[in-house]
């Protein structure tokens, strides 16, 4: 990667992994409001990139552009080394991009299995398929296997009603649902918002597990403790522009906060380009 005009003090410290997703020159306006202005963003497989910034910085607009929910007005994407188009959520899903939004979109009246397979149910085979029957046994077994592969041990009963789960357990269910289609990239919007200490720790461990499985993970968060726990790189947006990109191992919270508020340029030894 090379430094851009929006990051004049960024320098290259080490060879970065080959990006799975590359977004170049992403811009989005809502009337006279420029929500994103020529933003570059990338993330590699097996990497966690945290996207941070103040309210109105453009974080949600950027992830919605990548997810195809609110397509960018201009810009281009490359995925796994080839040029691609993301104009709607189906385009993102076909590429292997999944998003878990802050509201989680779970149905409290359904059990865990029902939520994990909501909208992607497995039909029974044979005559039962013609009758519209679902293969509840297969979905239950696959749900258990999925949570086991994610090292989620706090869910004792996958047939329990989702409305009775804790915040951390609900986040695990939402993430599990996003993985049913075997995505290669996962976007998590404020995954630890309103969670207690123990529940936050569970979610952070889950993010580490996703990275270890080789997924490219993007985490949007206002919580810098969360960011510094899981991120490999930290991308700061400010007023719709990419303000700085930090190597988490070299940066401090003060560096990131300064970039968020525009108080000072990043120290060269902490920034990456």
Task: Judge whether 178 lies within some domain.
Answer: no
Task: Judge whether 176 lies within some domain.
Answer: no
Phi-psi sector, 104: left (phi>0), alpha (psi -120 to 50), beta: left
**82 and 159 share one domain:** no
Instruction: Assign 151 a pLDDT band (cuts: 50, 70, 90).
Output: confident
Task: Judge whether 177 lies within some domain.
Answer: no
**127 and 91 share one domain:** no
Decide: helix, strand or coil at residue 38. strand
pLDDT for 1 beyond 90 = no
**162 and 253 share one domain:** no
**252 and 165 share one domain:** no
**251 and 138 share one domain:** no
Q: What is the mean predicted confidence (pLDDT) over 179-186? A: 94
Task: Judge whether 59 lies within some domain.
Answer: yes
The per-residue pLDDT for range 50-100, each reduced to its tens digit, is: 999 999 999 999 999 999 999 999 999 999 999 999 999 999 999 999 999
Task: Judge whether 197 lies within some domain.
Answer: yes
Task: Judge whether 101 lies within some domain.
Answer: no
Task: Judge whether 188 lies within some domain.
Answer: yes
* Lowest model confidence (mean pLDDT) among 10-19, 45-54, 79-88, 125-134: 10-19
For residue 4, the domain's CATH number is 3.40.50.300
Of the candidates 159, 85, 157, 74, the residue with the CA atom closest to the CA atom of residue 115: 159
Entry field: residues in the chain: 273
For 70, the domain range is 1-96+183-273
Q: Number of folded domains in the chain?
A: 2
Question: What is the enclosing helix (H) or strand (E) of 112?
Answer: helix 112-116
Task: Judge whether 161 lies within some domain.
Answer: yes
Decide: helix, strand or coil at residue 137. helix
pTM as predicted: 0.86
Q: Which residues contact 83 (CB under 8 A, 6 or more apart)?
A: 76, 77
**34 and 153 share one domain:** no
pLDDT for 12 beyond 60 = no
**224 and 124 share one domain:** no
Decide: helix, strand or coil at residue 159. coil
Residue written as tokens 């700085």? Answer: 244
**164 and 211 share one domain:** no
Instruction: Assign 268 a pLDDT band (cuts: 50, 70, 90).
Output: low
**2 and 90 share one domain:** yes
Q: What is the mean predicted confidence (pLDDT) over 15-41? A: 92
**72 and 127 share one domain:** no
**5 and 114 share one domain:** no
Burial of 220 (C-beta count, 10 Å sphere; 0-12/13-18/19+): buried
């Amino acid at each position: 990667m090379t430094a851009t005009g929006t990051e004049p003090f960024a320098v290259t410290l080490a060879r970065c992994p080959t990006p799975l997703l590359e977004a170049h020159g992403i811009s989005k306006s809502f009337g006279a409001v420029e929500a994103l202005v020529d933003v570059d963003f990338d993330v590699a497989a097996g990497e966690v990139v945290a996207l941070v910034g103040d309210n109105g910085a453009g974080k949600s607009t950027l992830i919605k552009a990548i997810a195809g929910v609110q397509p960018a007005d201009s810009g281009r994407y490359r995925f796994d080394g080839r040029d691609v188009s993301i104009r709607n959520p189906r385009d993102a899903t076909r590429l292997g991009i999944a998003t878990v939004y802050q509201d989680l979109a779970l149905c409290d009246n359904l059990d865990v299995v029902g939520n994990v397979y909501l909208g992607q149910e497995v039909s029974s085979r044979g005559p039962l398929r013609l009758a519209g029957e679902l293969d509840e046994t297969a979905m239950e077994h696959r749900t258990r296997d999925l949570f086991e592969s994610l090292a989620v041990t706090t869910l004792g009963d996958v047939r329990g009603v989702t409305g009775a789960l804790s915040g951390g357990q609900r986040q695990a269910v939402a993430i599990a649902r996003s993985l049913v289609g075997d995505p290669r990239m996962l976007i998590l919007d404020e995954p630890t918002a309103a969670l207690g200490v123990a529940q936050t720790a569970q979610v952070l461990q889950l993010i580490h597990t996703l990275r270890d499985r080789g997924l490219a993970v993007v985490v949007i968060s206002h919580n810098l403790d969360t960011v510094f726990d899981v991120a490999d790189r930290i991308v700061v947006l400010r007023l719709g522009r990419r303000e700085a990109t930090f190597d988490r191992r070299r940066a401090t919270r003060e560096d990131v906060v300064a970039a968020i508020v525009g108080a000072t340029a990043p120290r060269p030894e902490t920034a990456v380009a």
